[in-house]
A and B are shown apart, each in its own frame.
Chain A
Amino acid sequence: MKYLIYTCLLVGFLFTGCRPSNEVTRMNPGETTDLSGRWNDTDARLVSEEMISDALTNPWLNRFSRDHGQPPVVIVGNVHNESMEHIDTEVITKEMERAFVNSGSVNLVASSDERRQIREERSDQQQFASVETMKEMAKELGADFMLIGNINSIVDETVDRRTLAVFYTVNMELINVETNQKVWIGNKKIKKLIERKNYRG
């Protein structure tokens, strides 16, 4: 009996001292990694991919290009985070900006924060740059559409906290700056089930 107690004690104290060591493995950014169940790079990528393909293949783009004989000018506004997690929505909007620019079918103008910086630089140039290289004022490209959106989440948890279900819904809209007409609405839903372990060694 006493040996059993000793063995249990020894094993217990040995376990107490165990610490995991660090190990780094490089991996493909496209690979899915779900570690904590929280919003992660995979979710941001899935949302961006869906939104980009939906926005660029929808009729609003062709219709505008056909009617105006030039690609639309888009500005990316805010994607509000109305979820229960801190989500960097810029990851999604930057992906969309990249896809818009690279597609060649949409012209993109700088966001309000970026514009502020550029305007400061332009004002600065008026005073300090040479006349030949100085950029002119009031030559900005006005946007035809603004992209805005929001992220919502619904969380449901079992009483024992063992299972957690998280449902994210991401909405994005392209709004005509002149007429307030919504020309495109994209939506992506993500649902996750997180099972927690009760015990470890």
Chain B
Amino acid sequence: MNIAKFNGDSFTSLMASKLRLHNFLYHSICLAALLLLSGCHAYILDDAQQDLRSSFTAGDYERSTQLLEKFKSDDVYKGKDAVLKNLESGMVHHFAGNYDSSNVFFDKSEKQIDDAYTKSISRGLASLLVNDNTLVYDGEPYEDVYLNAFKSLNYVQLGDWEAALVETRRMAFKMEQLDIRIKGLAEAFAQKDTTGKVDWSSGEVNIQNSAFSHYLAAVLYAKTGKPDDARIEFEKLGTALQEQSRLTERETSLKELERIREPQNYNVLISAFSGQAPIKQQEDFRLWLDAEDGEGSFYVKFSIPTIHLYPSRVYSIRAKIDETYIPLHLIEEMDVVSKEVYKAKKPVIYARSLLRATVKATGSTLIASSVRKENKGLGLLVDILGIIGQEATEKADLRGWQTMPGKAWMNVIELPPGNHPIEIQYLSRTGRVLFTEHQSITVEENTALELVESIYSQ
């Protein structure tokens, strides 16, 4: 009797344990599938971004537009990626010559970046379990700045100089705020760190001025009959160029740009862009620790995005007009500035990745060990599932504005009334012509300022 009772109890307990395990396994699999699916979309978006970069840098704006349409119909850009979609659309339309449409997209992205200041708690939680790709893309700080540069060019193309100046003012303001913020962030980190072992200084990060915005503003102020404002912008341009020279090997002397202060001596602004936006790549770190009792292990993987400059072959740019060569001045190395700005964000990204990876690893280890106590085989399975889950979901956020050019070059010239064919030549370090873009420009008697734009992304 006793034996039978004992057997019955043990059977019931065994069944209950099995049921608990099945139940648990079922929930674990459902959860894992949910997390894997959430993590999957990021890979699709990465591929889409790569395709868009390829078509845009090849100068195929029609294909880029088609791709953006396709991404829209395939729902590649989710609501959280709206900023990205609008930045890309804005740039593609800009270089396709659809300036009004470009402004609409840039306007949207600027507002969305602003709105994204308020962070979603639910998305924050999701990012802690999946990866940073679940967060709303709020644009890199440099993207928020440079979108105004292209909006400004759009307005110049549309002949609305007042609106173009609004954009340059916004750009300058954002740059100044960014500089204050970066320095403030570094100070805040330093104050919170009680170990005193980490150097939280903003280091070389110095981006308080945008030469591009000041150059544009100086030209526009000079042309709108505001010599005093033009002079102030010109002085700021000098400071910006000086600061920028600390980051790069190239230096443009302010003396070479004196002409922009003499509005009567030019009626054409030539603006050319070379290179590409910096490329974000994923770096993975994996750690495998065996448990002391020899049962199970602690596996942790964390992925962080690293930013790399695109090695452009273009060393100089010149314009050939009526058999005369006019060199373009390197005004802003947007790619270098972008990388510099990104440096300041790194501690936050790294800390978040580490925290997320630890949460995931600890969670899966705890679950596996509790299952192992009940069933060794299943424990091993859960262990393996945990590793697969970490491998699949842990992914660096590589989202970024793919169609942003790398470097901005400019110069002003005076042309007599008439139609002029223009060749914009992109040269290598050895002086070999890598690419030539043919355009033509019509200057009329009363033309105050005509903008010629060109791009070669290699």
Contact = CB atoms under 8 A, between A and B. Distances in A.
Given A84-B166, A84-B169, A200 B129 contact: no
A107 interface: no
A26 interface: no
Interface string A1-44: 01001101101111110100000000000000000100000000
Interface string B164-183: 01100110010001001100
B119 A80 contact: no
B156 to A, nearest CB: 15
A157 B179 CA distance: 12
A80 B163 CA distance: 10
Interface residue range, chain B: 20 to 34
Given A9-B129, A81-B162, A84-B166, A198 B118 contact: yes
B30 to A, nearest CB: 10
Interface residue range, chain A: 20 to 34
Contacts of B166: 81, 83-86
B104 to A, nearest CB: 12
B126 A13 contact: yes
Interface string B16-60: 000000001001000100100000000000000000000000000
Contacts of B27: 6
A159 B120 contact: no
B416 interface: no
B268 interface: no
B181 A159 contact: yes
A200 B121 contact: yes
Contact of A16 (B114, B123, B180, B363): B123
Given A81-B162, A84-B166, A85-B166, A8 B118 contact: no
Nearest to A159: B184
A170 B320 CA distance: 46
Interchain residue pairs A-B with the least CB separation, the first 3: A15-B122, A159-B184, A12-B125
Interface of A: 2, 5-6, 8-9, 11-16, 18, 36, 80-86, 155, 157, 159-161, 196-201
Given A199-B120, A201-B121, 19 more contacts: A6-B31, A9-B34, A12-B122, A12-B125, A15-B121, A16-B123, A16-B126, A81-B162, A81-B163, A82-B165, A83-B169, A84-B169, A84-B173, A196-B117, A196-B118, A199-B121, A200-B119, A200-B121, A201-B120
